[in-house]
Structure 1
């Protein structure tokens, strides 16, 4: 597979706090990487590093084909101000801001793309509704429509399934599957271990100032999850006793 991003010997953190040390890994085209860890382990900080908002303490990020002009990004819902006075269609249009001026607005092709994005995300019927009137699931669908409009080769999703029901989660996963099939790279910060096992090909487990990367089945073992502080021994024993090991993780 082709590497979109090569992470080499990276130590990440802040002056007073090291989150993890000496991570070397590739983010490859057409794969989905799940990022897991206990609170404070560095998941969102890792995403900020990929966005270029912070630099690693040491090591390097190498883009073999150059840094993408656009990186799709969906922040945690708690970081989004729902009081902002815009409609669902305006929120989606913000994903294409590089392609239009604030005076000229969207051209016909971009409007068609926006309609298709709203439809795929399942919010076309509420496109003119102000975002402060949306439920949590409707807002997350609208935010996915904005990411669709970004049309990026690398997509970063920070807790994309927070505050959504199972039906909405399944719908959003279908969009992620489509991105995978198109050869895009998707990085998801997630908390639900079962959804990771079912839908992701690779995992990055953070915790205890360590970062472990590899195929899902190799990384998310009971011993590693306990050692890096993601589960207690009793939680790991219960979870892996009561849940059968999946056959082959779906390559998303």
Structure 2
């Protein structure tokens, strides 16, 4: 029996953990930490640092690290490629748990998830695969999201009075443009600075952009899109080169 708990850890800042998340960490027998490859060691290191901070002086759960599979570029269809990738990750999870679990009938396994496990994250989808393959129960602990960190960093509300907000991805913005149903957009998972596609928009657009939101190395840039777009692109490229990875998010308002 596996009791799997997905623990939202916010943006990687230990101060963003809720008391519920801290209690959940202390209750685990085994904590899984993925390694995303060369140049992205910081991500695993941040997870380890959170565990060290929260679990200091407590009975320390066993920590097992594993190499995260990569997407298969040979699969042309995006959704099929992601689906196969999730299958591979679920298999690695199962193998890692089997290799490191204590000799007990039931094992409590924790997985630290950036932000909140429910918001633009596939950890729950991967966990459901374990439920179909093994006797697994799933518990989810909510966490502070990058959207909260973004709006707090810039001191702006998410929405205008009585107005709608659309939360979407860079891919959707690039392929389909500005949704007609909202005057504010939150763009996540954008590796190509898709706001560039709005350069010739009919309406003036303001952007609030944050990288590493909520972390010690947080970077914030805001202003009219036409004036700060190049600055964001250059800053993002340098930050990614310096750290080997980047997490960024932005709010667009017109």
Q: Per the shorter chain, which TM-score range? A: under 0.3
TM-score by length of 2: 0.28
TM-score (norm 1): 0.28
